[in-house]
Structure 1
Amino acid sequence: MKIRCCIFIVFLFLLSCQTGSKKKAVEYVSIKELTKLEQLYLLPFDSIMNVCDLSNDSIVDFPDLSAYSIKTLDLSDNLLDTIIPCFLPKKLEKLNLSHNQFRGHVRIEKNTIPTLQELDISCNALNRIDIGEPLYRILLSYNDLRFVSFNHKNIQYLDISYNRNMPERVGFEPLDIDTIVREGVAGGKRLLGPTSGSFGYHY
């Protein structure tokens, strides 16, 4: 069930005014629209959702969603600058953190988000990321990454495009990945993993 913007708090104010010998009741309506996160917090803590869209919701602090079960969580286009794994929902498979304010170094330790399969943290300002969880899809485009490290157990798709300062010598093994998207990386040179020789495989 996708969270949609549909709940409103309406305050009605009645103002009586005198015009000649007649009284007119003038109704004023003030409407406050709840944020998507506020709507979510109205649901019971044991709620189960396939998709939860909290994108573009002006969220500054990483929200505590640990009481919910959500398969796909979209937190893109907010103001987040840190990940708190213990605040993430149960049974999370896909997490979108793109277009936030992540910068510097992000580390995701192994067994902190055990059900996660896909992470999108593109369009931020990261220069390093270390991912211990065995993800299937990792999207890292449009950062300032110089070093990337992750668990190779399940990896099938990696997007590192437009990280213009990433060197040809990388912290992962290109040969272990089915698909790598890498436009604008290393000037089109071969990507060499930690165990690669001088003639690495060209992606």
Structure 2
Amino acid sequence: MTTATVRVAPATAEVWPELERVFGERGDQAGCWCQWFKLTASEYRASTRAEKRELLHEQSAHTAVGVIAWLDDEPVGWSAVEPYAAYPTLARSPITKRVDGDPVADLWAVTCFVVRLDHRRRGVARALLRGAVEHARSGGARVVEGYPVDPAVRPSLSAAERYHGTVTLFESGGFSVVRRPSASRAIMRLDLGS
């Protein structure tokens, strides 16, 4: 029996057609295209799916704004990861806004995961998180932050509500909880050193 291998790389302009396959035509990810944290609420509501898709396409044409995963040769997942400053909504959210003592300089944020339905529970999200951390490190990050949900506290979380990742996923990547802004949400950090 052979085991499938998950490969992760920065989502550059060259892999755009494969990234489109990951996002697909249906589901929450096909409507968001990872623009939730980049647009104001009114801009987000006013934008069509096609406009959000085009925004991600434009963003990824200039720099890798996330990582893509392949299971063997099939594109199966995506994780958004950029400097915290690239996500203006994070600073306004009561969950993710900065508080005294929070790092700002050289801080990168992992905001979202997409794993195609037929490829879940095969280690893709863990591989994406490792790839996101490496992408952040190569971009100069000294700290990487995530904003996962905690199904242990709220087991009724739907798959759609888990797009932030889960506390156990981030723990498996070496992240630690630094704050609990709500019972089912955590701010988790990984210090990459100087």
Superposed pair shares fold, TM > 0.5: no
Higher helix fraction (1 or 2): 2
Work out which structure has the larger RCO, using CA pairs closer than 8 Å and 6 or more positions apart in sequence: 2
Higher strand fraction (1 or 2): 1
The alignment's TM-score, normalised by the length of structure 2, stands at 0.26
